Structure formats: C-alpha cells, structure tokens
C-alpha cells in the first residue's frame, strides 16, 4: 500500500462511519450526541466519515463543515474522506446500501472492537464508545505535504535514464520544461478519482491559451487511457503523462490528489499547492522563490 493511502493514525482509536452517499441529519445527530455523552478520559479518538467514490463532490463541503464543528466542540479529530479505491470497504467489511451507515470502531492496534450496520441512536453509540475506547494519547494530525518544494529543479525527473519511465518514454516525448521559454504546470491526479479530475477541469480548459503555462498531466496508476482522455477533453493542449507504476508521482513525493506544481521557464519549482487552477492557489500555503538566482 502506498504511503498516501495510509489513513489510520498510529496509536489512536478510530471510528469509521461509512455514510456512502450522504452524511444525513440522523447520522450527524447520533454522532454529535454520542461524542457529547461519552466521558471516556485519556482515549484519543479520530472519527472518519467515509463517502463512496464520487459522492464527496456532491456534498459541496457540508460534511467537512460539520466535521470541523464537531472537532472544535468535543476535541475529537473528525475528518471526511472518500473511499476512492474501495480499500476501506473491503478491509472492514463495510456494508453496501441500503444498510448505510456502517460503523466500525478500531483500537489503536488496528483491530475492530465494535461494529454496527444501519442507523443507531446516540445513547447506544455513546455506550459503544465508552466500552470500546482504549487508553491512547491525543490524536496527532500530520500534514501530507508534497515532497517537492519551491526551488527544486525538476528537469531531470523527466529525462530518460533518470528514472525508469517505461512506456512513457516510448509513447511520449520528454516534456520540454525549461526549453520553450514558458512557465509550466505539472498537475497530478489519480486515474480512479473523478473528484480530482473535475477539480482540474477549469485549468485544463484554459491550457490552450498561449499566455497560460504549459500543462503536463501526470495520471497516477494509469495505463494511458485516462491521461489521453483528459488531454483530449482539454482540446489537445495538455501533454498526457500516464504513470502506471506511480514512478513520477513518487519522485515528486505526491501524496494527495490533485496536486499542482508550478515550474518557471528555467525548470525550477516556484510553488506547490492543491488547487483546481493556476490563478487560484492559496498563496499562504506556498513556498515561493523570489527569482531564478535564489533557486541556483
């Protein structure tokens, strides 16, 4: 399993709530009430609200807002994610519809200590937490920052011989980063997540503009089909880069999707962020370099 898909925090209790399509009011109320009623001291807890693939985008951020409110109110770490590849459902035998939500309480060691399928009232859930939580330190949340930072030269990462690019070397020419006198964007997505594809759509649509940076689309886990389809939908102005084995993705240290890496005309990284568009980056989270001399 790649590091980016390892979601279980070490040495903490984990409550997985598989809502599939909707974090509805009844489920929210049960979780809210249970966290309020549970008085188990010294038992660090993370709550993961899990959506089916593609459903988190339909939620429009509402679940994340509720998760933030619960985290602030009760001190537990409540987070929202999407079971893109179905790994969570398979690992913990999470039931498909119509029995959603499915509840699984994991010990700090990773074992399932309690499970329930379907709706549950706050009292029963609170009792399950009281009996099932194990003493553990407070939850520590680590940021999954990309491995590449501002000032890094990325030209060599695409040259034959630097890494084993396999089919990429035969099917696609080496990207002309640093050779055409234009800035570039290297956008990373996974082949099996519609959410990251949709997030990058506005940027890909603008890629045909000569004043916009060159766009290279690296699709992790793709044999070429998804990368070419996304590039074709953008009018052919995007260079597709299927990354079947994740070689390029790992070389850049990418652990979340989508990730956008901005490269200047000399081939040095100027900024890294998770953003759907070139002009919409959260500059507070970036590490810009002032000029090319600073990078050298």
pTM for the whole thing? 0.62
Instruction: Give all domains of the chain, ordered by start, each with its CATH number.
Output: 3-132 (3.40.30.10), 155-295 (3.40.30.10)
Q: What is the pLDDT along the chain (296 residues), one digit of tens a residue?
A: 333 334 444 578 999 999 988 899 999 999 999 999 998 888 989 999 998 877 877 776 788 888 889 988 888 889 898 887 777 777 777 766 656 799 999 999 888 999 999 999 999 999 999 999 999 887 776 666 677 778 887 766 655 433 333 444 444 445 556 555 678 888 898 887 766 677 677 767 666 566 677 888 899 988 888 888 888 887 667 888 888 888 888 888 888 888 888 888 888 888 887 654 434 433 343 333 333 333 33
Q: What is the pLDDT of residue 248?
A: 86
| CA angle in degrees (0–180, nearest 5) for 52-73-46 | 45
**Pairing outcome for strands 259-263 and 184-190:** antiparallel
Q: What is residue 276's predicted lDDT score, i.e. its pLDDT?
A: 43
pLDDT at site 137: 82
Q: Do the Cβ atoms of 200 and 271 come closer than 8 Å?
A: no
Sign for the CA dihedral angle at 102, 81, 255, 11 comes to negative
| Residue 271, beta-bridge partner list | 262
pLDDT at 177 (0 to 100): 60
Q: 230 to each of 39, 57, 200, how far by Cα in Å? A: 50, 18, 10
């Amino acid at each position: 399993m790649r590091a980016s898909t390892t979601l279980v925090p070490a040495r903490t209790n984990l409550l997985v709530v598989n809502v599939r399509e909707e974090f509805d009011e009844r489920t929210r109320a049960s979780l809210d009430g249970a966290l309020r009623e549970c008085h188990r001291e010294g038992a660090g807890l993370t709550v993961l609200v899990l959506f089916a693939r593609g459903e988190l985008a339909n939620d429009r951020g509402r679940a994340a807002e509720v998760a933030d409110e619960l985290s602030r109110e009760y001190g537990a770490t409540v987070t929202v994610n999407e079971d893109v590849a179905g790994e969570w459902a398979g690992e913990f035998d999470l039931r498909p519809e119509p029995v959603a939500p499915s509840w699984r309480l994991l010990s700090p060691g990773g074992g399932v200590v309690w499970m329930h399928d379907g709706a549950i009232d706050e009292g029963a859930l609170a009792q399950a937490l009281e009996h099932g939580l194990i003493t553990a330190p407070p939850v520590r949340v680590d940021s999954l920052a990309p491995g590449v930072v501002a000032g890094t030269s990325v030209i060599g990462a695409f040259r034959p011989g630097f890494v084993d690019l396999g089919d990429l070397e035969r099917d696609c020419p080496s990207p002309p980063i640093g050779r055409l006198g234009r800035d570039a964007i290297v956008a990373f997505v996974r082949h099996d997540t519609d959410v990251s594809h949709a997030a990058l759509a506005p940027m890909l649509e603008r890629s045909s503009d000569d004043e916009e940076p060159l766009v290279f689309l690296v699709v992790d886990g793709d044999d070429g089909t998804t990368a070419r389809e996304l590039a074709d939908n953008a009018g052919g102005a995007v260079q597709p880069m299927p990354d079947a084995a994740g070689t390029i993705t790992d070389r850049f240290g990418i652990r979340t999707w989508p990730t956008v890496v901005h490269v200047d005309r000399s081939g040095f990284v100027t900024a890294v962020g998770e953003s759907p568009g070139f002009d919409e980056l959260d500059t507070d989270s970036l590490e810009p370099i002032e000029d090319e001399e600073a990078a050298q």
